[in-house]
Chain A
């Protein structure tokens, strides 16, 4: 990797200053993704701003929200009593990600900022508009087995690899950020971007902005939830497709629903129309099939990911069945 400067501020403001001053600076927290990318020459920051000394790792109540600090470790959040009690879907999604070793290093903020695992992004000898704008999309006519079926552009068909983010988008989370112009709140659904013409931009963070926390509002999704991750081995693999399903069922009628998919788009893919189609219906396989059909509207596949057009709706049905405990 290249030589780089390294700073480890102890104050949030100093961290933001360090980031804002240098366009080529990167935050490092757990480093579970960035270090790999630097070793392969995919990213070459001139400066690393290590934020591990900032007091951002608390998990606490804030009114009717659970607030999770950006530096809270994935492994800690997944085991946290508050999270398990109020947002079990999040705990399930976290535990579906990576390995125990990685979860013990990776942070909540870093998880959201993971780069895609697209093969063409990872290999500097191959074209990739995300890594090198204008070089072309290697995946479009290449080995696109893992790639998007929603929201892609002709510049990029990569998917976002996070499991945690799929649960957070389903749970209506909000991202708290702090930057040179002050603090702001970004609804999770607007945090990640679709590729459009600027696939190099994964998120709507502005230069110099730092994620400080995530807020998750209380909601009656504590019992009938399930995070289903379909992958090619039983653990430690990125999702072919994943589904975050949360239901509020009363007297076998669905009063409210949250549904999102991973592994299908450049961002965690919230399925609001499918959610609406579930409300007021009985919790049956038939209802779930109809919702899956709604969810898949507009999906389009490439040469090697045709299977996702079937795997995705099947997985939605299975996730909802498990969430609702329907045999």
Chain B
């Protein structure tokens, strides 16, 4: 594209501009709600106003008579979804249990559960008619408060079935050994429910192109997972379900599950025979698309007087719904980050009358790290040691969880880079010892880690006659710049200019790829792009061998082959050239294509693979008003090879801002009397604004991990936020001497 500023080679690591940047800033990028289909109509969901019980009566007559209304669908007249009746598990949810069966029966399982959809010719008419649906309920007593139900926490079904599940109780050394420690602490931590609140509201257009053929333009992080789910729901072949998610305007995890509004739109499209668009309201984003669950944690920790950890016990109870068992790896960091010979972890979930949570950036780990890294800081103070020194002293060179070597670990390098950049030496151990005018100054740090996951993916690489390379894979891009990274990987592998390469994603008809989640897309799809490009190069080499200059190509090493304007050449021999036209003629095709599948190897059995981040922050706290201002953030990451310094920095920045929100401003509150959220818009639920984001610097170790994939990547998205909230909480302690263990750290907690 023209806007790519002067001569970008697209080499791996280069801070190349986003390939779709222009489309996004000019509004040309099409998001799910923006497709214009002939005959499109609008659906508006009606939510329950009770939390638990049954619908006694639902009067839709007035709504049906309202202008422009095509249908009002409830459990009484909904087309039956075949999968709902046939299976316990119609859609194989990403977590155990039974996803909500939309309009299936008269049961109400959480407040604002969709109980009807009104379809009309315009959005405003649908919205107005939705206000006319009158419902009466038989109400049951509900539970929406986790802390009042901690005693009902239970072991998730996966852990019951399999004692080796990461969700099962874990023991290294002695049970709860901290109780006998020389210096010990015991503390409870609470994080409130946090909402993903991406800028783009969840949206879908559902279109039955034939009675057994469904196309959805759907905001999702998993086009293939969504395809499978809806095929099972409706009892049709997967190939008959087409899922398009070319652009996703942020998701942070809430596109990793299929939600009631999607099924409601599909039902409405079935009923009306028209394409139906449903866009959630901001308030519905709090109840219909998941959230980071309210979680209670307790840590017991002990250390020797000279700062060696002797034991950690970490327990957590997170909330889930009454119908699905949502789980996340809250306690993993505690098992593997520090040398402690004795570690006990106990993970529980408690069912409440709420909608189902879903993974939110740094899922589990961000929650667990708040408790762990706060406790580490507290323990460092208890033994009167600099918290950085304390972490170095308890650093581990092998994985204490399983005894395996790390694939790579450059955490100490991160410590050093960050400490220098933040000016850690200016920190005083004594809280409240540094001031800037009226404000108290504090320094804090926190460590984050996340598994360097890799899955299987398939990529199609097609070199066209015009010299353009088109790559396809059914992954998505929720904002990290996936397409840009893939173009750079291809450009580097093939020696091609990036503007000749297009990476297409977000379409279930493309070759298989997993969801975009768990910081694994570059690890997985990036590796597959690299493999596809290598396969393409080999194929081209074979074809070139048969051209007039063939001998040179035949003998060449594959990496010697350069794909340039209109022809193949050799880096080592400028005279060796083969025109595409000739190659394609050889191939009797208009193009040369390869489709390759890539999978992780068995290094996974031999090594423990993690990305690491260290966040250093400086905060100012006002002693009279309790306001906290984050003044500086330095995050350093060991994320393996960095494909694009700019987009990698963007990810770190987004995670840092998310971490500020987690630490200082975000928390969704339910009024338990009603079971209903009372902070459910962007005025009451405070995501950070620009003025909350300080100067931020990000640094990467940028050393390859040879065991995750051949690119050497480990993943960035999650570690950008994991450990940030405790870094801020620890800085607040350093400024004020107040240890806040319940997020968010709002002014009332500090005065």
Contact = CB atoms under 8 A, between A and B. Distances in A.
A142 B128 contact: no
A289 to B, nearest CB: 11
Interface stretch (A185-193, A219-227, A228-236, A273-281): A228-236
Contact of A233 (B124, B680, B691, B748): B691
Nearest to B684: A119
Interface string A117-145: 10110110110000000000010011101
Given A41-B131, A317-B624, A233 B686 contact: yes
Interface in B106-143: 124, 127-128, 131
A120 to B, nearest CB: 7
Given A1-B127, A143-B669, A117 B625 contact: no
B622 A1 contact: no
A310 interface: yes
A230 B627 contact: yes
Contact of A2 (B128, B283, B627): B128
Residue from B673, B689, B692, B748 whose CB has the most chain A CB atoms within 10 Å? B748
Given A317-B624, A318-B625, 5 more contacts: A2-B131, A228-B625, A235-B689, A240-B748, A314-B751
Interface of A: 1-3, 39-41, 99, 117, 119-120, 122-123, 125-126, 138, 141-143, 145, 228, 230, 232-238, 240, 307, 310-311, 314-315, 317-318, 321, 327
A37 to B, nearest CB: 12
22 contacts: A1-B127, A1-B128, A2-B128, A3-B67, A39-B127, A117-B684, A138-B674, A142-B671, A143-B679, A230-B626, A230-B747, A232-B744, A233-B665, A233-B688, A233-B692, A234-B691, A235-B691, A235-B692, A236-B689, A237-B683, A307-B747, A311-B626
Contacts of A122: 681
A307 B625 contact: no
A49 B722 CA distance: 51
Given A41-B131, A138-B671, A232 B625 contact: no
B106 to A, nearest CB: 19
Nearest to B66: A3
A120 B678 contact: yes
B650 interface: no
Contacts of B127: 1, 39
A61 to B, nearest CB: 34
A114 B675 CA distance: 28
A141 B671 CA distance: 10
Contacts of B673: 141-142
A142 B678 contact: yes
Contacts of B665: 232-233
Contacts of A120: 678
Interface string B664-676: 1100010101101
Given A120-B678, A143-B671, A237-B683, A311 B751 contact: yes
Contacts of A327: 437-438
B689 A233 contact: yes
Instruction: List the 4 shortest-distance A-B pairs measured between CB atoms, nearest first.
Output: A307-B748, A234-B691, A119-B678, A125-B49
Nearest to A3: B128
Contact of B747 (A40, A117, A311): A311
B242 interface: no
Contacts of B131: 2, 41
A159 B678 CA distance: 16
B746 interface: yes
Interface string B683-706: 110101111100000000000000
A317 B49 CA distance: 44
A243 to B, nearest CB: 10
Contacts of B454: none
Contacts of B629: 234
B355 to A, nearest CB: 16
Contacts of B676: 123, 125-126
B62 to A, nearest CB: 13
A242 to B, nearest CB: 11
A299 B173 CA distance: 55
Residue from A2, A40, A138, A143 whose CB has the most chain B CB atoms within 10 Å? A143
A228 B627 CA distance: 12
Contacts of B49: 125
Contacts of A125: 49, 674, 676
Nearest to A243: B625
B678 A143 contact: yes
A1 B124 contact: yes
A299 to B, nearest CB: 15
Residue from A122, A230, A232, A235 whose CB has the most chain B CB atoms within 10 Å? A232
B673 to A, nearest CB: 7
A123 B747 contact: no
Contacts of B674: 125-126, 138
B631 to A, nearest CB: 11
A307 B747 CA distance: 9
Interface string B530-541: 000000000000
Given A41-B131, A230-B747, A315 B625 contact: yes
B683 A117 contact: yes
Contacts of A117: 683-684
B478 to A, nearest CB: 24
Contacts of B438: 318, 321, 327
Contacts of B679: 119, 143
A232 B746 contact: yes
Contacts of A240: 747-748
Residue from A120, A234, A314 whose CB has the most chain B CB atoms within 10 Å? A234
Interface in B720-751: 744, 746-748, 751
Contacts of B626: 230, 311
Contacts of B664: 232-233
Nearest to A241: B625
Contacts of A235: 689-692
Contacts of A145: 748
Interface string B287-299: 0000000000000
A53 B748 CA distance: 45
